[in-house]
Amino acid sequence: MKKRGTIPRKIKGFRDIDADLNEMRQRIIQAAAKVYRSYGFEHWDTPVLEYADALGKFMPDEETVDQGVYNFKNPEEEPILGEDGKELRDAGAKAIMEHQALAMRYDLTAPLARVYAERLWDDVKRGQIMESNARLFRRFQYGPVYRYEMKLAPGRFREFWQIDFDSVGTKDVAADAEACMILSDALQAIGLDKSTFIVKVNNRKVLKGFLFSIGIDDDEKEGAVLRVIDKLDKIGWENVELELAAGRTDTSGAAIAGLNLPADLIGKIISFLKIATGIKGRKEVIEKLEKLVAGNELAEEGIAELKKMDAMWEALGFDESSIVFDPTLMRGMAYYTGPVFEVESLLTFKDKRGKTRKVGSICGGGRYDGLVKNLLGLRVPATGASIGVDRLAALLQMANDEKVKAEGPVFIAYFDDSLQTKYYEMAKELRQAGMDVEVYCGYFKGFRKMKKQMSYADKKNCPAVILLGEDEAKKGVVTVKNLKLGKELSKTISDKKEWIAKVQKEIPMDGLVEYMKANFA
């Protein structure tokens, strides 16, 4: 094996987050968390690693990596448990031990299902599990999730943050309707204008029912059709039609296989999807859908759910300008069973070549009544949604004229060894008064030059610098320089002496805390 060099570099698809980006991220999280909490969700965290088989369909040692999950082996061997929770034994009645497969979470929903299921597990073992003791649980959670993406699209990462909220233990679509309103509230709390995004809602039951009624009745066929429809945004109507039929050759010359459905079926699917084109009113969309799927039980159930949601939104003041029905909305994840929702940002931006591009989807969610069942055998209905924190941060950076900058500490410059202790004393007092304070500690090459120190404070976006040198010490004062003001004035003043004189002030030593509190706290 070749010896690896020690050139410092980070892993592809992962990022270092600087103070400014962290500031942005914190604002988003705090605003969203506050809204979630206000609806009654409690704050939980779960580990980044889970047993691989708890995370979904992925079983140890199948090609999990190809399917998007990072995985590892647990350091110690553990007994393998059977479906009843008992240790599996070999012929000699010895427990079968293995280094179990672990995987990094790829979203926050699967770990939630695990948390929930784990708390019910003892009851399951006692055979006492039944729907009546599946309790209602509402929690929100934020943190990094990990995806082993084969190819990194711009703005896509292998590590990124989500802030997620879910209600487990309710089959009432009121919870779904509420989730959409929460997304809308949260995005506004984060600072997006209501006119710049729209919540789109659909119901898988309607589509499933419709497809069933026209003869697409097995999961595999259905999945294939859904996947094609999911691409609509990207490839357009014509290409969707082609992919449902014989396939097509895309602009890069690659051949894409088609599903080879009969023409009349394709026609039906397309006209179903186009049913809401140009129609904004939720009630009109429902009416049209209703006629088309009449007689199919599942679809009718779905329609009834949409009706209920619509009625709630109407009563609570969420009209078509904020929430719409979109029969073409699909969502990638297979585990959704009912209502699905997505928030689309209506903002656009210009890319490097000056091409106008859409920001696209910034939140997603839906109902997943089967997820807990995969772990527990008990069907516990659940619904929830998630905001893509990093996407949103990027969006806000683009939308804001002024970049969000992290606020630095009050800065105490270093002049004199004999005053060093004094600097730390001042800092302590100011901290006790509630301020962030840094005493300059650079000591290397020319690091103690005034210019260096000032420039350091400036780059850290410090609001003020406190200068205490020999001159001040003799007089019993300190000089406080207002960097924030200086930044403002530098736009209009070009004379250096004037500029300096205007932004600094001598303050008596014993009045410093008072002065700083009044001006910079």
Partner RNA sequence: UCCCCUGUAGCUCAGUUGGCUAGAGCGCCGGAUUGUGGUUCCGGAGGUCAGCAGUUCAAGCCUGCUCGGGGGAACCA
The site for RNA (CB under 7 A) is made up of 12, 56-58, 67-69, 106-107, 147-154, 227, 230-231, 234-235, 243, 250-254, 256, 332-335, 352, 415, 446, 449-452, 454-455, 457-459, 467, 469-472, 479, 481, 483-487, 489-490, 493-496, 499-500, 503-504
Cα distance between residue 426 and residue 510, in whole Å: 10
Cα distance between residue 504 and residue 508, in whole Å: 13
Judged by CB, which is closer to RNA: 291, or 352?
Answer: 352
Find the DSSP H helices in 53-203: 109-125, 174-190
In whole angstroms, the minimum distance from the beta carbon of 130 to RNA comes to: 27
Quickly tell me which residue has 């014989």 as its tokens.
246
Cα distance between residue 500 and residue 312, in whole Å: 61
Cα distance between residue 411 and residue 171, in whole Å: 56
**Closest by CA position to 199, among listed 33, 364, 314:** 364
Q: Are 271 and 244 in contact (CB under 8 A)?
A: no
Judged by CB, which is closer to RNA: 100, or 337?
Answer: 337
SS3 of 331, please?
coil
In whole angstroms, the minimum distance from the beta carbon of 325 to RNA comes to: 21
In whole angstroms, the minimum distance from the beta carbon of 76 to RNA comes to: 25
Find the DSSP H helices in 232-381: 232-244, 263-273, 282-293, 297-316, 371-376
Q: Where are the beta strands (DSSP E) in 222-313?
A: 247-249, 255-257
Q: Hey, what are 383's tokens?
A: 């619904």
Cα distance between residue 124 and residue 18, in whole Å: 46
In whole angstroms, the minimum distance from the beta carbon of 473 to RNA comes to: 8
In whole angstroms, the minimum distance from the beta carbon of 439 to RNA comes to: 15
Quickly tell me which residue has 């499933």 as its tokens.
208
Torsion angles phi and psi, residue 58, rounded to 5: -80, 125
In whole angstroms, the minimum distance from the beta carbon of 332 to RNA comes to: 3
Q: Where are the beta strands (DSSP E) in 19-64?
A: 42-43, 49-51
Judged by CB, which is closer to RNA: 285, or 338?
Answer: 338
Taken in order 204, 207, 212, 215, the sign of the CA dihedral is negative
Judged by CB, which is closer to RNA: 295, or 446?
Answer: 446
Q: Are 479 and 467 in contact (CB under 8 A)?
A: yes
Judged by CB, which is closer to RNA: 149, or 319?
Answer: 149
Judged by CB, which is closer to RNA: 110, or 273?
Answer: 110
Judged by CB, which is closer to RNA: 200, or 481?
Answer: 481
In whole angstroms, the minimum distance from the beta carbon of 218 to RNA comes to: 17
Residue 392, Cα to own-chain centre: how many angstroms?
A: 8
Q: Hey, what are 35's tokens?
A: 């809204």
In whole angstroms, the minimum distance from the beta carbon of 257 to RNA comes to: 8
Residue 141, Cα to own-chain centre: how many angstroms?
A: 10
Judged by CB, which is closer to RNA: 6, or 494?
Answer: 494
Judged by CB, which is closer to RNA: 313, or 440?
Answer: 440
Cα atoms in the 13 Å half-sphere on the side-chain side of 333: 23
Judged by CB, which is closer to RNA: 312, or 489?
Answer: 489
Question: Parallel, antiparallel, or unpaired: how do β-strands 197-203 and 323-325 relate?
Answer: parallel
In whole angstroms, the minimum distance from the beta carbon of 190 to RNA comes to: 24
β-sheet with 71-79: strand ranges across: 49-51, 97-104, 71-79
Q: Is 27 exposed, middle or buried (0-12, 13-18, 19+ CB in 10 A)?
A: middle
Q: Are 180 and 323 in contact (CB under 8 A)?
A: yes
In whole angstroms, the minimum distance from the beta carbon of 146 to RNA comes to: 7
In whole angstroms, the minimum distance from the beta carbon of 134 to RNA comes to: 22
Judged by CB, which is closer to RNA: 30, or 374?
Answer: 374
